[in-house]
Amino acid sequence: MTYDFSGKVALITGASGGIGRATALAFAGAGASVVVSDVNVAGGEETVGLIESAGGKAIFQACDVADADAVKALVKRAVDTYGRLDFGHNNAGVTHMAADEWDEAVWNRSVSINLDGVMHCMREEAAAMLANGGGAMVNTASINGFTGNAVQPGYVATKHGVIGLTRHGALKWARSNIRVNAVCPGVIETPMTDSVASSPEMRKVMEAMTPMGRMGQPEEVAHAVLWLCSDQASFVTGHPLVIDGGATVS
């Protein structure tokens, strides 16, 4: 499926690699102007370079989504540069495998980025979208927004929260032409999973976690994000779309 987002503007957080980078490249490939954001400056600038080398338009702005003022400045930069904001992929997030899974600092960091960060982005993006007649947001949750795991309380709790925020936003802006959905990836081959899957043995374990017998690719999530933002999904809002190779079926 192809999309024409010419004249539209997309903002992607956590876009220095993985799912965020794949989504940024996909939006640019469909003609959108892209605002790339991350705390990883080198990675974010590299994403912009990849877009520009393919003939697309993009800018980078460093942003810690846990900082409400930084998110406000990020959305302002998007509007100041391109005149509008149509799409937001609120993708920035962290995961931890702490020795002490109840460590206060780990919990607080999970909440501030995974949950507070999404809220900050939704709030600022909605204000910009309302000014130009509507738009679409996609939040990155996880299959752990439906299920649990025994070692990441902060991650599990915040991803459940992202699905809740998504449903709230969908209802809040349903009559304002703003749709809000979420993608819920399973095991995807990204820099976030590389540290766990670095050994052949652990990679086999992670591949065995899905009935399809492989890890997903960032582009497979990006395709879903673009569909949720497109007119083909014009009657879809408040939906947490699972992309997990069947992991939550079994």
Interval 74-102: pLDDT, tens: 999 999 999 999 999 999 999 887 667 78
Strand partners, 61: 37
The vertex-196 CA angle with 45 and 47, nearest 5°, equals: 10
Any idea how long the chain is? Answer: 250
With tokens 């959305």, the residue in question is 75
Q: Which fold has domain 9-242?
A: Rossmann fold (3.40.50)
pLDDT value of position 173: 98
pLDDT value of position 215: 92
Active site members? 155
Task: Judge whether residue 250 has pLDDT over 80.
Answer: no
Residue 250 C-alpha from the chain's centroid: 25
Task: Judge whether residue 234 has pLDDT over 70.
Answer: yes
pLDDT value of position 192: 66
The packing angle between helices 153-172 and 117-131, to 10°, is 20
pLDDT value of position 195: 60
Average pLDDT over residues 192-214: 76
Spell out the residues 6+ positions from residue 156 whose beta carbon is closer than 8 angstroms to its own: 144, 148, 149
pLDDT value of position 198: 62
Residue 25: pLDDT band (50, 70, 90) is very high
List the chain domain ranges.
9-242
Strand partners, 240: 182
Rounded Cα gap, residues 228 and 5, in angstroms: 13
Three-state SS for 85?
coil
User: What token pair was written down for 52?
Assistant: 């520009």
Strands of the 9-12 sheet, one edge to the other: 57-62, 33-38, 9-12, 87-90, 135-140, 178-185, 240-243
Cα separations in angstroms, 45 against 12, 50, 123: 13, 9, 25
Average pLDDT over residues 239-247: 97
Task: Judge whether residue 214 has pLDDT over 80.
Answer: yes
Q: Side-chain half-sphere of 87: how many Cα atoms within 13 Å? A: 31
Spell out the residues 6+ positions from residue 22 whose beta carbon is closer than 8 angstroms to its own: 217, 218, 219, 221, 222
Task: Judge whether residue 23 has pLDDT over 80.
Answer: yes
Strand partners, 180: 137
Rounded Cα gap, residues 227 and 94, in angstroms: 25
pLDDT value of position 203: 78
pLDDT digits (tens, 9 = 90+) for 150-202: 989 999 999 999 999 999 999 999 999 999 999 999 999 987 666 655 677 77
pLDDT value of position 155: 95
Three-state SS for 239?
coil
Residue 205: pLDDT band (50, 70, 90) is confident
H/E element, 137: strand 135-140
Task: Check residues 207 and 146 and name the one with the higher pLDDT.
Answer: 146
Task: Judge whether residue 146 has pLDDT over 60.
Answer: yes
For residues 101 and 151, is the Cβ–Cβ distance under 8 A?
Answer: yes
Rounded Cα gap, residues 194 and 203, in angstroms: 9
pLDDT digits (tens, 9 = 90+) for 26-80: 999 999 999 999 999 999 999 999 999 999 999 999 999 999 999 999 999 999 9
